[in-house]
Each structure stands twice: as C-alpha cells, then as structure tokens.
C-alpha cells in the first residue's frame, strides 16, 4: 500500500515533463534459499522522486486504441533513499519508445522498445551479497515474460525470464538491467478488435554481468493474436 503524487506540465505541443513522488510499503515473503533454515519475511518501505520527459506525436484518427503513425518516446530517472529516507536506496533509469507506421490499406507496423537499469548497493562491507537489501529491491528489479506483465515477452510464463545463474547473485532476485522489444503488424478491425502478428524478444542481467554484450542471448517468440 502507498501513495503517489504526479505533477506535470507541457513544454511544447508534443513535449511534456512531470515529477512523481512515491511512498510505498510492501510485505515480502520468500521461500527458503540454500543455507536458510526457514522462510523469511519482512516489511519494507520505498520513498522516491521520479523525473519524466516525454514526446508524443501519435495519430489516433482511425482508432481510439491503435495509433496509425507517429511515436511516443520517454526517459525517466528515479531516485530513492538518501535524503528521502525509508529502506530502499537506488537510482533507476528507464527509456521507452514506440513507433507506428501505416503501410497499406490500414495495415500498421508497430515497434515497442524499453530498456532499464537499476543502480544500487546490494553488497556488505565484506563484499558479500546482502540478502536484506536485495529482497527489499524485489519490486523495482526486472522480471520479463508473460502477456499481462509490465515487461511483456509473449509465449513465456509471467516473470519467467531471469538472469543467467552464475556468480554471487541468485537469478530469482531478478535483474538490474533489461531490455525488451515487441514488433507487431496490425490490422484494426474495429475500435476494440485488432488482428496482429508479433515478434518479441527480451533479456535481463544482474550484477554478475558487467558487459551485457558478452552475455547477449535474448529469449524470442513469434505468433499471431
């Protein structure tokens, strides 16, 4: 449970900025990890400020739900902890873009790309993984997969695309780096019905991977809907 307040203002016809304050309390319950004697649980609090800038040129003339041209691009920076207090301390960078182009006879090519990075200290002074710190970051780390999730890669179970299992960080804690791409070829039948063919791909990495290009092996899927 929690509260968020967002204030925004347009700069030009297509560009606007906003600032959001978020105060969130959550309850975590994790199964036993290797070496643990019992399940662990705890409450945590996240208090953050996020700055957004976005540019929107999408054209909705033919449908209220599916633009036929233009693009939407945004960048955000979230700061948590420090002078704001609470439990979590991190900086989160998110870039999102989607593009739409009409090809012929109402067929639309759509592309969605999102990339994110969470910077935080999850280590003890001795250089070991601090389980409590990484637990509290769970809702702000990355888990890809599933059609109805925040980071959709269709054809996979919800939150099933995790970092590779290696190094000090358990992949079940999710990643601190991610990207996903959706490509769709759409045909709007009416306002609330669209036929499409899609190609999805995405990957997550955690702190064990410092150079993502050396470990670039995204999960992929194709289909129709």
Backbone angles phi, psi at 219, to 5 degrees: -80, 145
pTM for this model (two decimals): 0.90
Kindly give the pairing relationship between strand 70-80 and strand 40-56. Answer: antiparallel
Q: What letter does residue 60 receive in the DSSP assignment? A: -
Give the rounded percent of residues in the chain with a pLDDT score beyond 70: 94
Q: Which residues contact 200 (CB under 8 A, 6 or more apart)?
A: 152, 153, 154, 155, 180, 181, 182, 183, 220, 221, 222
The alpha helices in the chain, defined as continuous H runs, are 131-136
Query: For residue 224, what are the CA distances in angstroms to 59, 104, 149, 154, 218?
Result: 24, 19, 18, 10, 20
Residue 165's DSSP bridge partners are none
CB 189 within 8 A of CB 119: no
Residue 34 has what pLDDT? 56
Q: Is 185 helix (H, G, I), strand (E, B) or coil?
A: strand
Say how far apart CA 19 and CA 5 lie, in whole Å: 8
Say how far apart CA 28 and CA 135 lie, in whole Å: 8
- How do residues 81-133 score in pLDDT, each as one tens digit? 999 999 999 999 999 999 999 998 889 999 999 999 999 999 999 989 998 88
Residue 52's DSSP bridge partners are 18, 76
């Amino acid at each position: 449970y929690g509260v968020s307040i967002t204030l925004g203002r347009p700069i030009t016809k297509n560009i606007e900025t906003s600032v959001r304050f978020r105060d969130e309390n959550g309850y975590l319950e994790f199964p036993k990890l290797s070496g643990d004697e019992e399940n662990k649980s705890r409450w945590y609090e996240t208090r953050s400020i996020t700055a957004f800038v976005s540019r929107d040129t999408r054209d909705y003339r033919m449908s209220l739900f599916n633009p036929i041209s233009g693009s939407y691009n945004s960048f955000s920076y979230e700061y948590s902890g420090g002078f704001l207090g609470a439990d979590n301390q991190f900086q989160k960078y998110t870039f999102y873009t989607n593009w739409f182009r009409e090809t012929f006879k109402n067929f639309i090519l759509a592309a969605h790309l999102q990339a994110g990075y969470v910077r935080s200290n999850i280590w003890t002074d001795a250089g070991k993984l601090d389980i409590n710190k990484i637990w509290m970051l769970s809702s702000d780390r990355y888990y890809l997969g599933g059609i109805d999730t925040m980071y959709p890669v269709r054809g996979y179970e919800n939150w099933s695309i995790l970092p590779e299992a290696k190094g000090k960080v358990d992949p079940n804690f999710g990643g601190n780096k991610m990207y996903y791409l959706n490509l769709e070829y759409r045909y709007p039948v009416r306002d609330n019905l669209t036929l499409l063919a899609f190609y999805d791909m995405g990957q997550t990495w955690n702190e064990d991977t410092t150079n993502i290009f050396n470990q670039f092996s995204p999960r992929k899927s194709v289909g129709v809907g």
